[in-house]
Amino acid sequence: MAETPDALEAFRAKARTWIAEHFPPSLTGRAAAVMAGETLDAAETEALAWGRRLGEQGWATPTWPAEYGGGGLSQLEAQVLNQELDAAGAFNPLIRTTGMGITMVGPTILEYGTEAQKKRHIPRICRGEVFWSLGYSEPNAGSDLASLATRAEDAGDHWVVNGQKTWTSGADVSDWCGVLVRTDPDAPKRDGISFLMIDMDQPGIETRPIRLIGGASPFCETFFNDARAEKDEMLGELNAGWTVGKRLLQHERASQTGATSGMGGGPRRSLGEVAKRYVGTDDAGRLADADLRGRLADHLMEAKAHGLTLARIAAEARGNAKVSAAASILKNAASRVAQQRAELTLEIMGHQGLGWEGEGFEREELVAVRTWLSGKAMSIYGGSFEIQNNIIAKNILGLPENTQRG
Q: Residues 34-91: pLDDT tens digits?
A: 666 554 466 678 888 999 999 999 999 999 999 999 999 998 899 899 999 988 989 8
Catalytic one among 56, 252, 357, 365? 252
pLDDT at 340: 92
Q: What CATH topology corresponds to 269-396?
A: Butyryl-CoA Dehydrogenase, subunit A; domain 3 (1.20.140)
Between the CA of residue 93 and those of 150, 278, 281, 404, what are the distances in Å?
Answer: 33, 32, 38, 41
pLDDT at 406: 43
Contact 161, 224 (CB under 8 A): yes
Listed range (202-216, 257-271, 314-328, 392-406) with the worst mean pLDDT: 257-271
- Residues 102, 105, 107: CA angle, nearest 5 degrees: 70
Q: Which residue has the higher pLDDT, 319 or 332?
A: 332
Where is pLDDT greater, at 224 or 307? 224
The predicted model scores a pTM of 0.79
The pLDDT, as a whole number, for residue 317 is: 54
Burial of 220 by CB count in 10 Å (0-12 exposed, 13-18 middle, 19+ buried)? Answer: buried
| CA pair distance 216, 322, nearest whole angstrom | 33
pLDDT of 306 reads 84
Q: What is the pLDDT of residues 350-380, one digit of tens each?
A: 999 888 888 889 878 888 888 888 788 778 7
Q: 149 and 183 in contact (C-beta within 8 Å)?
A: no
pLDDT of residue 1: 47
- Would residue 252 show up in a list of annotated catalytic residues for this protein? yes
Q: How does the average pLDDT of the chain come out, rounded?
A: 86
Please indicate whether residue 26 or residue 239 has the higher confidence score (pLDDT): 239
pLDDT at 379: 81
According to DSSP H, which parts of 58-184 are helical? Answer: 75-87, 94-97, 106-112, 115-126
- Name the least confident of 107-111, 226-230, 236-240, 366-370: 366-370
- The pLDDT confidence band at residue 265, using thresholds 50, 70 and 90, is very low
Mean pLDDT across the stretch 136-142? 91
User: 106 by DSSP, 3-state: which?
Assistant: helix
Comparing C-alpha atoms, which of 93, 117, 92 is closest to residue 106?
A: 117
Q: What digits encode the pLDDT tens for the residues 143-198?
A: 788 899 999 999 999 999 999 999 999 999 999 999 999 999 999 989 999 999 99
pLDDT at 122: 98
* Cβ(255)–Cβ(189) below 8 Å: no
The per-residue pLDDT for 237 is 96
Task: Report residue 325's pLDDT band, with 50, 70 and 90 as the boundaries.
Answer: low
pLDDT value of residue 403 = 55
The CATH fold assigned to 5-97 is: Butyryl-Coa Dehydrogenase, subunit A; domain 1 (1.10.540)
pLDDT at position 323:
58
Q: Exposed, middle or buried by CB within 10 Å (0-12, 13-18, 19+), for 322?
A: exposed
pLDDT of residue 262: 47
**Cα 108–110–115 angle (5° rounding)?**
130
For the chain, percent of residues with pLDDT exceeding 90: 51
The whole-number pLDDT of residue 310 equals: 75
Quote the pLDDT of residue 315.
64
Residue 210 CB neighbours (<10 A): 14
Q: How far apart are the C-alpha atoms of 370 and 357, rounded to whole Å?
A: 10
pLDDT-derived band at 258 (thresholds 50, 70, 90) equals: low
CATH superfamily of 132-240: Butyryl-CoA Dehydrogenase, subunit A, domain 2 (2.40.110.10)
| 50 contacts 89 by C-beta, under 8 angstroms | no
Domain ranges for the chain, please list them.
5-97, 132-240, 269-396
Residue 318 confidence (pLDDT): 54
Compute the half-sphere exposure of residue 9: CA atoms within 13 Å on the CB side of its CA: 3
Among 63-77, 122-136, 270-284, the least confident range: 270-284
pLDDT of residue 266: 47
